[in-house]
Structure 1
Amino acid sequence: MTVNPSALPPQYDPKTTESKWQNAWETYQVFKADPNHPGKPYTIVIPPPNVTGSLHMGHAFEDCLMDVLIRYYRMCGYNVLCLPGTDHASIAVHTILDNKLKLEGKVRHDIGREEFLRQAWEWKQKSGGKIVNQLKRMGLSADWSRERFTLDKKLSQAVRKAFVSLYEAGLIYRGNYLVNWCPASLSAVSDLEVENKEVDGHLWYFRYPLTDGSGFVQVATTRPETIFGDTGVAVNPKDKRYEKLIGKTLTLPLVGRNIPIFADELVNSEFGTGCVKVTPAHDRNDFEMGNSHNLPFINVMNKDGTLNENAGIFEGQDRYVARKNIVRKLEQEGFLSKVEEYRHTVPYSDRGKVPVEPLLSTQWFIKINPLARKALTFLDENNSPRFIPEHWTKVYRDWLIKLKDWCISRQLWWGHQIPAWYVISETDDKITDDTPFIVANNEIEAIEKAQQKYGGAIKLEQDPDVLDTWFSSGLWPFSTLGWPENTEDLKVYYPTSTLVTGFDIIFFWVARMTMMAGYFTDQIPFKDVYIHGLVRDENGKKMSKSFNNGIDPLVLTENYGTDALRYTLIREVAGAGQDISLQYNRKTDESESVEASRNFANKLWNAARFVMMNLEDKTPQILGLPKVEQLELCDRWILSRFHRLVQQTRNYIETYGLGEAAKGLYEFIWGDFCDWYIELVKTRLWKDVDSEPRLVAQQTLAYILDNILRLLHPFMPHITEEIWQTLGQTSNIFLALQSYPTYDTQLINTELEESFDLIIGTIRTLRNLRAEAEIKPGMKVSVILQSEDEIERTILKSAKIYIQDLGKVEQLTITPQLELDMGQVIAGVVGTVQVLIPLSGIVDIASLQGKLEKNLSKIKAEVKSLTLRLNNPGFVNKAPQKVVEGAKDSLIEAQKQVEILQERLHRLK
């Protein structure tokens, strides 16, 4: 096939190109994995976004990082699997459907579980694919034929298998413990789903009278509404103030119940008065003290956040309404001592967005310690998994050590229903904490087990709760590959290679996966955990819904193209784990940084068009490689720079230096290739028709273009695929499946590259001098290059033709010494080389001096005006800060212009 440059339009249109290749890749199943492929496996199982979600900048960033790795290793010949999928997101889906029912004046119990689930699946079928389509639009090169959903039949079977196995091993139990309760979602939530917020509140001081009438004890609390659950008052055993009171009893205000005073080291003597009310059913520390001192546990809270019958006249009141009324009542009865303003931490439900309540509740738990110990063994003995950056290893390890048992049950309907069936008696169909139950993989198995254990006709009722979403997500790396069956996918692609994720879910998800995988597969589920930072807004703030400062990535892809956004996000990564800042104008939906990447795409596009127009319809394969002995100086230079680039890029990608890799590609493609090499060979292409130098230039251009498209493909896959196809490939063969470039160290010549830096610097200086002297672009000049260094002169002589071509030089003199009288010249310096252009007969020096002096006078007047403004206290103190800062920046810029103009005038004297 021949090159068809006309197939590349004069201007690059990302919308047409990107959709074209996304469709083609999917149609031809370019990214379909095959366990029988001979290459070494490389697997990424993507962190499943919520099925309720839509693409945000964090997704876009994470997917770009993943896709660079996936495309790179695929092109390196690995047997690559990128497995996509979504999470069922129990609470999020419930919120959507609950809000829908609320508009109809209903709650989910009005329609029943079966109808609720029917509507949930209906919603999932209609709306659940939104984020998947958006991920495809970002160019994620996943095997979409293997797309998984956490409620898929096979994955549900894996979840039940895991639950039953853990239960039978004694690692899952059902018990009545204190949990985080979300009154909004009416469900328990894990510690990891709780966000601690600093809030302004109050500290109330109340008098609790001693039962013997000898006085009172003053206690301080931030939660007066829990007073009805108080079953004791505690002091620290080392607190001398209260040691004589230990063992006495108090009469609880509003209730009249006698409660003991006892000592416990959990009490902070610095809080309030050092005496704390103990409410075992509503506080974690109090729960511990309640168990240690055999106190009664009295629950005063309903699950919707209202007070229950134990609150007496306050029954049915919302917790915060009741708080005000209880304080008022205590004040009326003389128990309120004082009130202080108090800033403290309040735990909020991450999903429900309301303060959680510590609530005594019967739930299902995992004994986490055995699982955590095994994960720690992998870490300490094998450094598995390996965290990048490394400092996250300590964070992960410390967290595993501090883990408490995991509450895995949620009072929801959408999710994996707990595979436990209660054995209902004929006389009482109410499920209690003492109701016997059977754990089984399915109802048939449960009936068989129940009959074997209890005999006769058995009535069973499945536990209505579902499992915490993170339970199924913890199985994700291996359940998606077929576990518990020993599938080919599981044998080949597991353990996975790399997990790319944010630091904020190390505890939510990463540790869940390592513990589950360690237990069920005896392997850590991934070799590396690449922790990326956050995408921050133009002011350096974390993007969040609460700040309303998020940026819709699809707006930027619409304006600039997907490749431009992908490249920007990757290029901005200064190092593994570091945050990136994205410049963005919210009024115009414009981004300077993404626009710069679009300009880079256009630069590549135009360079490709130029190269293809000069290949005489020949492909890189037809042209072949140039012979080393035929290479000219600039050919050897660009090949050295290219092979160094390949070495550098491969090393950066394999060590997760993706930002550095992207920057290096930009510098080579824009600078070395487009700005210099193409310019250096134009003379050979246009003048030496049918000559060996022209053929060598064509061969080198074709070779470099073909390979930079391969190098850049993981970062900007759409534009590179389009150009590569047009460069002359056969149909249904894709760049995405071609080999990644390799490097030849014998072609890397550091000395040559350093020499060429001098040549480029000389040409650049010469061009700048021409611009300063306002020499017409087409006019050829005489140039003198002076250096006392023989090596420098030799380098310059070897590049004489390049300097003359690119600098528009008619006569070039390279000399160790300058003549005494050369007339008026304009001069510059590069290294120790002086670059001089005699001006006599070239420009009207007097006219040029006049223009420069006029401009200098104008700029000096601007400097004076800005200086006066900034020295005026009225302006500095009253004008908006942005205006003042703008004036300062303008003054600095004007002062620089003065220096430049003065220097240019000095050179003309």
Structure 2
Amino acid sequence: MLDKTYSAAEVEERLYARWEQSGGFAADPESNAQPYTIMMPPPNVTGSLHMGHALTFTLQDTLIRFRRMAAHDALWQPGTDHAGIATQMVVERKLAEQGITRHDLGREAFIEKVWEWKAESGGAIQRQLRRLGASPDWERERFTMDEGLSKAVRKVFVTLHKAGLIYRDKRLVNWDPKLHTAISDLEVEQREVKGKLWHLRYPVEGQPGRFLTVATTRPETMLGDTAVAVHPEDERFKDLIGQQVRLPIADRLIPIVGDEHADPEKGSGAVKITPAHDFNDFEVGRRHDLPMINILDMNARLNENTPPEYQGMDRFDAREKIVAAFEEMGLLEKIEDNPMTQPYGDRSGVVIEPWLTDQWFVDAKTLAQEPIKAVEEGRTEFVPKQWEKTFFEWMRNIQPWCVSRQIWWGHQIPAWYGPDGRFFVEETEDEAKIAARAHYGEDVVLTQDTDVLDTWFSSALWPFSTLGWPDETPELKRYYPGDVLVTGFDIIFFWVARMMMMGHYFMGDVPFRHVYIHALVRDEKGQKMSKSKGNVIDPLDLAGQYGTDAVRFTLIAMAAQGRDIKMSEQRVAGYRNFCTKLWNAARFCQMNECAPLDGFDPGSVHLTLNRWIAGKVEECAKAVGEAIVAYRFNDAAQAAYGFVWNTFCDLYLEMAKPIFQGQDEAAKAETRAMAAWTLDAILHILHPMMPYITEELWEKIAPRERMLVEEDWIEGKGLSTPEIAAEMDWVVSLISAVRSVRAEMNVPPGAKIPLTLKGANAETLARLKTHEPLILTMARLESVEPSEEVPGRGAAQIILGEATLVLPLAGVIDLDQERQRLEKELKRLDGEVARIDKKLSNQSFLAKAPEEVVEEQKERRADYEGQREKVREALTRVG
């Protein structure tokens, strides 16, 4: 007999170990089954599981478990990313505790320390993924610094360089002055700050008393100005184009250029141009062939290109001194408060500087063309489709991709420099020496580039490097391209697009057929989770408290396409109750001797009730399977939940009780077998979403040859019979309608009331006669019979098909008191709706309130409106 309660904590670790040992997660390249591939977005080796991870990995696991059950050869390729900057920072912090820096150790010794840290402490997230029930093919786990993947990285870099698609150039990058490296846009956090806007006056050369006023949020960069731009059609400044202004403090003459970057409607209409310290200005500088003067060093201190009294100053100290100097010269027009966004390094926490340096770049524009075409032609589809627009906008305006990083942990760039600075890009140092000898005519000393590659460079190769490329392997041939990538919208550009670029260039085809973009997981109020707000929800804490299945099912049930998830402990507790409901249903079946029978054929049953539930099982399995395939995860969860809770537990088992307690042994035996078969089917249907409790029940209900994880999905056998479905659905509708009225009208649970059917046809009367005992019991009725009498006062009436159900309530409840209660409730709901309407019609509220707050108000209004409609219906029934 099953224990009285399900203990997730006692079950989960034991079951996961058995799954892994069984080999049930493994793909089989030699299989004749249709392959199905999901590439796991490799979490950072430094990472720990957060709610976003829990969502994406739960959805992937649901897909992969379903496909295995549906007889696919399913590969879920796992692995972790070396996470260059993040990992280097972790190890450097540990060294700092011992009073050591990486420079004290040197590059080789430091990298050894990183590998030591990975062996000892890295990989926590893989253990956490196991707790979540994730079922990738762990035997194939890869790491982006594995030798095989490193070989692929070198091959790609060299191939692209020789094709002219990787080059070295002096361009602006996001520079982190604390970490001393370029960082990607993804590693830049835009923070809302209360800044200032300084309006500076530049004297027009040769026109005493005339100035051009420019506004800037970074006055210190004016020392690197090489032009002032005005719009070529701006009548105020047309005569100045081609003239010069004298740059204060630096005392340089710089040109006034006509460029559409200057907006006549903003500020004075004139903008300072600092090509070496602003991304927009860099492009203006290129268009007008302007000098690019870098005024900062790697620490964001002013360098030798500034006046002597500023050299070596911190950028913010220099700002104060420059503003004071402008004020002293009478050239500071005004200072305004300026709410703005400012770029910070997400790891260092310091303000990022656009900085002009020599870096390695990928010609992303050329590589983007084939992926754009693939999405246009439907060879890769985004789900939801709206994300295609985002993809196109970014890809069609893509900038060169800076792939070099000034850190030590990562794939060192395969470029070697000769004594005159000429570089040789080859896969190995020996090949570089051969190339150098051919160039110089003799052997020379070569020095490898000290930079490493952007982490996204190696992860862009993930869909094929993990399968053995550049070698020709059976896995590469079988599992590329993959079927779906499941990820968040925030890395469409940084990872999805780059995988598509590299995949198409090196494999000749896109790396996946579908890109499912899931929404954000927010807190219960719709706010983004953050440590500063104190609203972060830890998925493993929830799993420990309510069981992993409850957490998983909550995420799946709320994963509607295009809608953010509002996560709350209350919702998880609700789905823990669902687990309890399933467990109790299984116990009920055991107590009534419902055991699985070998060879039982659900198509052979005779009782209407059993034929009905057989059809409902097939309908549910079909609905859940189709929803999972279409990435409508919430629909899959709702179909399964509704069937298990309402159809099986609340209806079928309740309807089966009289049979279990009756004297008809044949009916009893058939219903026991049918209940057991239905419960087994439910375990199959729920397993991809709730693997632990379903596996535990599968094992405990009866001895089995195979674990549930190895079982096949339920195939349709034509068990659904339209006439049986229509008959039982009518019975269910009648019972549900009566129960709803009883609840709405506060009818005491013990009160049995008569029911009459007015206008019932012959088919309805026949159904009524057949199922009368069941209807009386489940709707708690005194009697049920046809009648054509006009309903008296206080009779609740419900339309069901062609018939009207009449429930006389006078004498059962106090009609006047019930009317007063309902009118009071209606008044309250009217007030709630009016209050929200007032708020939603307030333009000031709509303009200032966060989007999630506005959405929450709309959802509340819809909820109140639904309640109001029910109260109105109840009032009409009171009469």
Contact between 1:626 and 1:696, CA under 8 Å: does it hold in 2?
no
* Letter aligned with residue 724 of structure 1: W
* Letter aligned with residue 611 of structure 1: C
Contact between 1:856 and 1:898, CA under 8 Å: does it hold in 2?
no
Contact between 2:433 and 2:443, CA under 8 Å: does it hold in 1?
no
Partners of 1:834 and 1:26 in 2: how far apart? 58
* Letter aligned with residue 618 of structure 2: H
Contact between 1:367 and 1:405, CA under 8 Å: does it hold in 2?
yes
Q: How far did 1:346 drift? A: 3.3
Contact between 1:282 and 1:360, CA under 8 Å: does it hold in 2?
yes
Contact between 2:826 and 2:872, CA under 8 Å: does it hold in 1?
no
Q: Counterpart in 2 of 1:51?
A: 45
Deviates more, 1:350-359 or 1:58-67: 350-359
* Letter aligned with residue 380 of structure 2: P
Q: 1:133 to 1:233 in 2, by over 3 A?
A: same
Q: Counterpart in 2 of 1:139?
A: 133
Partners of 2:162 and 2:792 in 1: how far apart? 98
Q: Counterpart in 2 of 1:453?
A: 439
Q: Counterpart in 2 of 1:521?
A: 507
Deviates more, 1:383-392 or 1:199-208: 199-208
Q: Does 1:97 align with 2:71?
A: no
TM-score by length of 2: 0.89
Partners of 1:143 and 1:861 in 2: how far apart? 60
Q: How far did 1:649 drift? A: 1.6
Q: Does 1:714 align with 2:688?
A: yes
Partners of 2:830 and 2:255 in 1: how far apart? 75
Deviates more, 1:205-214 or 1:552-561: 205-214
Q: How far did 1:89 drift? A: 1.1
Q: Counterpart in 2 of 1:736?
A: 709
Q: 1:559 to 1:303 in 2, by over 3 A?
A: same
Aligned residues: 852
Q: Counterpart in 1 of 2:310?
A: 314
Q: Counterpart in 2 of 1:703?
A: 677
Partners of 2:686 and 2:747 in 1: how far apart? 38
Contact between 2:411 and 2:453, CA under 8 Å: does it hold in 1?
yes
Q: Counterpart in 2 of 1:760?
A: 732
Map Cα deviations across residues 107-141 of structure 1 (whole Å, 9 max, x no partner): 43233212321222222222211111111111011
Q: Does 1:613 align with 2:591?
A: yes
* Letter aligned with residue 720 of structure 1: T
Q: Does 1:333 align with 2:329?
A: yes
Q: How far did 1:706 drift? A: 1.2
* Letter aligned with residue 206 of structure 1: L
Q: Counterpart in 2 of 1:440?
A: 426
Q: How far did 1:200 drift? A: 2.9
Q: Counterpart in 2 of 1:795?
A: 767
Q: Counterpart in 2 of 1:360?
A: 356
Map Cα deviations across residues 587-640 of structure 1 (whole Å, 9 max, x no partner): xxxx22111111111111111122233336x43325x12554x52221222122
Q: How far did 1:371 drift? A: 0.8
Q: Does 1:235 align with 2:230?
A: yes
Identity %: 43
* Letter aligned with residue 46 of structure 2: T
Q: Does 1:370 align with 2:354?
A: no
Contact between 2:523 and 2:535, CA under 8 Å: does it hold in 1?
yes
Query: Aligned with 1:300: secondary structure?
Result: coil
Q: Counterpart in 2 of 1:421?
A: 416
Q: 1:892 to 1:79 in 2, by over 3 A?
A: closer
Unaligned runs of 5+ in 2: 835-852
Q: Counterpart in 2 of 1:814?
A: 785
Partners of 2:563 and 2:746 in 1: how far apart? 45
Structure 1 or 2, whichever has the larger Rg, is 1
Contact between 1:438 and 1:450, CA under 8 Å: does it hold in 2?
yes
Q: 1:185 aligns with which of 176, 179, 182?
A: 179
Q: 1:849 to 1:139 in 2, by over 3 A?
A: closer
Q: 1:787 to 1:901 in 2, by over 3 A?
A: closer
Q: Does 1:599 align with 2:577?
A: yes
Q: Does 1:748 align with 2:726?
A: no
Q: Does 1:580 align with 2:557?
A: no
Query: Aligned with 2:106: secondary structure?
Result: helix
Q: 1:533 to 1:897 in 2, by over 3 A?
A: closer
Structural mapping, 1:151-190, within 5 Å: 151-190=145-184
Q: 1:599 to 1:460 in 2, by over 3 A?
A: same
Contact between 1:478 and 1:517, CA under 8 Å: does it hold in 2?
yes
Query: Aligned with 1:174: secondary structure?
Result: strand
Query: Aligned with 2:236: secondary structure?
Result: helix
Partners of 2:380 and 2:832 in 1: how far apart? 60
Query: Aligned with 1:509: secondary structure?
Result: helix
Partners of 2:721 and 2:828 in 1: how far apart? 54
TM-score by length of 1: 0.86
Q: 2:544 aligns with which of 558, 565, 569?
A: 558
Map Cα deviations across residues 21-73 of structure 1 (whole Å, 9 max, x no partner): 11111122220111012210001011111111111111101111111110111
Partners of 2:504 and 2:637 in 1: how far apart? 36
Q: Counterpart in 2 of 1:65?
A: 59
Partners of 1:303 and 1:902 in 2: how far apart? 75
Deviates more, 1:765-774 or 1:161-170: 765-774
Q: Does 1:725 align with 2:711?
A: no
Q: Does 1:342 align with 2:332?
A: no
Q: How far did 1:701 drift? A: 1.1
Map Cα deviations across residues 750-807 of structure 1 (whole Å, 9 max, x no partner): 4543432332243345567888897785x98876555443332122112123224435
Contact between 2:776 and 2:784, CA under 8 Å: does it hold in 1?
no
Q: Counterpart in 2 of 1:204?
A: 198
Q: 1:729 to 1:122 in 2, by over 3 A?
A: same
Deviates more, 1:442-451 or 1:72-81: 442-451
Contact between 1:447 and 1:460, CA under 8 Å: does it hold in 2?
yes
* Letter aligned with residue 682 of structure 2: I
Partners of 1:259 and 1:540 in 2: how far apart? 51
Partners of 1:688 and 1:627 in 2: how far apart? 24
Q: Counterpart in 1 of 2:651?
A: 676
Q: 2:395 aligns with which of 394, 400, 416?
A: 400
Q: How far did 1:154 drift? A: 0.9
Q: 1:304 to 1:101 in 2, by over 3 A?
A: farther
Structural mapping, 1:272-311, within 5 Å: 272-311=267-306
Partners of 1:308 and 1:696 in 2: how far apart? 89
